[in-house]
Amino acid sequence: MAVDLPGAQGALIVPTKRGEIFVLDRATGKPIDPVVQKPVPQGGVKGEWTAPTQPYTTGFPSVAGDDLRERDMWGLTPIDQMVCRIMFRRANYKGQFTPIGTTPTITYPAVGGGINWGGVSIDEQRGLMVVNALHFANLNRLAPRKAGETPKSGFEGGVIMFPQAGTPYGFESFPFLSPIFAPCQQPPYGIISVFDIKTRKLLWSKPLGTAAGSGPLGMASHIPLRMGAPGFGGSVSTAGGLVFIAATQDRVLRAFDIGNGQEVWSAKLPAVGAAMPISYVSPKTGRQYVVIAAGGHFAVPGPHASAIMAYALPAR
């Protein structure tokens, strides 16, 4: 995301699945916000080299969430909470950048982020940046492969398989869920935040989405509890001070006041809007429209569709 910072310095904002948001000089690629190297966990499989440090920005606060703890393991019942805590204890986890081995390793932020491909949106007029992030852990492992064995890839039984051809391991990733298919970690899972670009400070942050489309055993609860729902997709910011975003498992397109986070409008979608909305003004009618693709997402339970939904703002 290219922006002009105060002082006419051209910048490139780089949101990452790690939840770190780097700011680079657009002309040189050098960090505008200083970057520091921090030690990270070591280990992994025999013969693998791991970097002793990783870069962290000193500018925008991270949206990754705190490292997980056993007491963060959550359940809809005491039984699945207990199972999640046992799974947490048995898994390999030392915080961010825990090297993945042949036993289940907790990765958080996980495969989906942090900040996913939806990126961030910028309100240039107000100097604000909108960020939506996913707080959802994965269990990952390296699956040993015999010589000559065909690498597997795809999505099967809730597991995403990456072939990693040319290596002795495939990579398997699956969500960190309880026996009744509820997230093991406590909510919120979806977060939307707004930052002041000039000061890098957080203005407001809140859970994004409700539990209406989520529930045990893959069933929708239909309970509109605002707990922050898992999802994928991005936002669009308009000159009128609104943020439009869908993304969440509850299948709703929402509009927020960018200044204070108040939800001012919403519309139900036929499937998860795992996309970025667009907004445009019709040259024929002069009316402003908001459009989003609502097709669902293979990693988010719920119906699928082939829908393009368009909404017209009130005529002036």
Residue 86 belongs to domain with CATH number: 2.140.10.10
Residue 164 lies in a domain: no
Residue 222 has pLDDT above 80, yes or no: no
Residue 109 lies in a domain: yes
Domain range enclosing 101: 2-137+176-312
Bigger pLDDT: 251 or 221? 251
Residue 57 lies in a domain: yes
Residue 149 lies in a domain: no
Contact yes or no for 219/233 (Cβ under 8 A) = no
Q: Report pLDDT digits (tens) over 158-217.
A: 788 889 888 889 999 988 998 888 889 999 999 999 999 999 999 999 999 987 766 665
- At 149 the pLDDT is 81
Residue 166 lies in a domain: no
Residue 155 lies in a domain: no
pTM of the full predicted structure? 0.89
Residue 125 lies in a domain: yes
Question: Per-residue confidence at 1, pLDDT binned at 50, 70, 90?
Answer: low
- At 210 the pLDDT is 83
Q: How many structural domains is the chain composed of?
A: 1
Residue 145 lies in a domain: no
- At 4 the pLDDT is 67
